[in-house]
Structure 1
C-alpha cells in the first residue's frame, strides 16, 4: 500500500499501522500541538506532571535517608526512562481533543486504569529492565573507576568526577553507555506506548513498529528524542519542578508524533 509520498510500504505485522515518512517539520508541528494541548487543558498536564515530580522527590528523600544523596545524579538521569507511563493519561487527553470527544477526569483516569488489563502492562517490564540495567551499570562503573575514592555527599562526588582522571573516565564511559541505553529505550517505546494506549495490539508488535519507525525516520525521530532528553534533564535541575511543564508538553507531543508517523492499516 502506498504512503502519503506514493512510496510502497511493506506489509506490517497484524494489527500494526503503516509507517509514514517524517520530516523535521513533523517534529516541530508535534511539539506545537503538544503545547496547544497543554494550554487547552493545563489541569491534566499539571496533575500528571506532579505525579512524576513527586516520584523524583521521593527518590531524593530516600537516598538522603540512607546516606547516599550523591546517587541522585545517576538516578535522576535514568529517572526519565519511567516517564512515558505517566504520560498515558496525556495521550488520552490528546486523543479525545483530536477526536472532539468530551474530556473529563473520570474518562481520562478510567482509561489509565484500564491499561492494567491490556498489553501496556508488559511494556512496564521492558522499561523497568532497562532502567535497572542503567542503575547497575552506574554502580559497576563506579566500582571500576572510583572504587578507591571516598565521597559521602553529592558535592564530594561531583568534585571527584570533575577533577580526577578516574572521574573523567567514569563520565566518558558512562555517557556512552547511557546514550546507548537511552537510544534503545526510546526506539522501543516512542511509538509503542501511544500505540498500545490506542490500539488492541500485542506489545511485541508495538515494539517492532516503534523500532521500524525510528529506523525509517532516523533524523526526525532521534532529533525528537534529543529534544525530549535535553528538556527533561533541564527540568530536573530546579528540584524536579520543571517536570510540571516539560512532562505534559512532551507527552502530548509524543502522541501527535505517533499520529503523524502512522496510518490505519
Structure 2
C-alpha cells in the first residue's frame, strides 16, 4: 500500500477533526487482526530478538527482588508495566507488516528499517512519553503499597503474599492497584494504538497522530477496551515460564496492532 498524504487536520467549535477518516470496528476486526499478526510473525519470526530483549529484563527484576526485600512490592508493577512500554518495542514490527502489505521480501532485520523513517523524531518523542508513563506508574504503585501496607518492607515473598491475600487491606490493595494499572494501560492503548503506525505510514506530526489515536478510541470505546483486555491477558499468559512466552506474544500483538490500525484509519 502506497503512502498517502492526508488532508490537513483541523479544530473547530466541535473539537479536533483528524485528517484521516476513522472507521467503526467490531470484535470480528480484532480476531482478523490477530490472525494477520500471526501470519506476519510466521513470515518473519522475531522471537529470538525478543527473547534476548525480554529475558535479561525479567532476570534483572527477579534477581533484584531476590537480593533485597525492598523491591518485592514492585515486582508485579514492574512486570505488568510491560503493557505500557510494549508499543515502543513493537515499532519495528509495524515496518515488517508494512513491507508485507507491499509484497516485499521481509526478515527480522527489517525491524530496524524504522530508524530511516522521516518520522523517527516524533516516534522517539512519543516513545519517551510512554517510558515516562511507565515511571509514573511505578511511582504510583509504590505509593499505593505504602498507603495500604505501611512503610516497612515485607520480610519475604511468602509473607507479602500472605498479607495481600489474607488481610482486608491487602485485598483492597490488589483491587485498587489493578484498577489503577488498568487505567494506565487503557490510556496507553488510546494514545498509541494508532499514533505509532500512523507516523510510520503517513506524513503527520506526533501531536496529530496522538489526537487521531484518541479520536479512534473515542469512536470505538467498547471494542478497543476489549482489545486492551485481550492484550493484557495475552501479556499475562506470555509472562508464564519467566516471560519466555512474551517472545512470541509481543511480536504477534505488534503485527496485529498494525492491521488493526489499517482497519481503524483510512
Smaller-chain TM-score range?
0.7 to 0.9
Match of 2:86 in 1: 83
Match of 2:100 in 1: 97
CA distance in 1, matches of 2:134, 2:68: 21
The 5-angstrom pairing of residues 113-132 of structure 1 reads 117-132=120-135
Structure 1 unaligned blocks of 5 or more = 1-9
Deviation at 1:137, TM superposition (A): 1.1
Match of 1:56 in 2: 58
CA distance in 1, matches of 2:60, 2:118: 25
Structure 2 unaligned blocks of 5 or more = 1-6, 11-16
SS at match of 2:79: helix
Which range moved further: 252-261 or 174-183? Answer: 174-183
Q: Is the 8 A contact 1:69 1:154 kept in 2?
A: no
CA distance in 1, matches of 2:240, 2:118: 31
TM-score by length of 1: 0.86
Which range moved further: 65-74 or 176-185? Answer: 65-74
Which range moved further: 99-108 or 31-40? Answer: 99-108
Q: How many residues align?
A: 253
Residue by residue, what CA displacement relative to the aligned partner does 1:139-184 show, whole Å, maximum 9, x if unpaired?
A: 1111111006651332322211111111012112212211211111
Match of 1:193 in 2: 196
From the superposition, tell whether residues 115 and 165 of structure 1 become closer, same or farther in structure 2 (CA, over 3 Å).
farther
TM-score by length of 2: 0.86
SS at match of 1:119: helix
Q: Is the 8 A contact 1:38 1:252 kept in 2?
A: yes
Matched, 1:250 2:241: no
From the superposition, tell whether residues 214 and 225 of structure 1 become closer, same or farther in structure 2 (CA, over 3 Å).
same
CA distance in 2, matches of 1:209, 1:246: 26
Deviation at 1:106, TM superposition (A): 4.6
CA distance in 1, matches of 2:48, 2:23: 32
The 5-angstrom pairing of residues 113-152 of structure 1 reads 117-147=120-150, 150-152=153-155
CA distance in 1, matches of 2:105, 2:42: 16
